[in-house]
A = this chain, B = another copy of it.
Amino acid sequence: MVPRLWNETIEEHRGAVRDAVLDAAAALVAEHGLTAVTMSKIAERTGIGRATLYKYFPDIEAILLAWHERQIAGHLQHLAAAREHGGDAQARLAAVLEVYALNSRQRHGGELAAMLHQSSHTAAAHERLVDFVRDLLAEAVTAGTVRRDVPSAELAAYCLSALSAARTLPSDASVRRLVTVTLAGLRPAS
Q: Are A184 and B189 in contact (CB under 8 A)?
A: yes
Complex interface: stretch among A3-11, A15-23, A65-73, A153-161: A153-161
A187 at the interface (CB under 8 A from B): yes
Interface string of A154-190 (1 = CB under 8 A from B): 1101101111110011000010011011111111010
A118 to chain B, nearest CB (A): 8
User: Interface residues of A: mostly helix, strand, loop or mixed?
Assistant: helix
| Complex contacts, A187 vs chain B, CB 8 Å | 184
From B161, B183, B184, A165 is in contact (CB under 8 Å) with B161
Number of chain A residues close to chain B: CB under 8 A: 29
Q: A38 CB to closest chain B CB, in angstroms? A: 25
Beta-carbon contact of A177 and B150 below 8 Å: yes
Q: A114 at interface (Cβ–Cβ under 8 A)?
A: yes
Picked from B154, B174, B184, B186, the residue with its CB within 8 Å of the CB of A178 is B154
Nearest neighbor of A170 in chain B, beta-carbon distance: B154
Please tell me how many copies of the chain the complex holds.
Answer: 2
Cα–Cα distance between A182 and B161 once the two chains are bound (Å): 11
Q: How far is the CA of A188 from the CA of B165 in the complex (A)?
A: 20
Does chain B have a CB within 8 A of A92?
Answer: no
Closest CB in chain B relative to A126 CB, distance in Å: 10
A154-B182 contact given A160-B165, A165-B161, CB 8 Å threshold? no
Does A174 lie within 8 Å of B162, measured CB to CB? Answer: no
Interface flag for A147 (CB, 8 Å): yes
- A44 CA / B164 CA spacing, docked (Å): 43
Provide the residues of chain B in CB contact with A162, threshold 8 Å.
Answer: 158, 161-162, 165, 182, 185
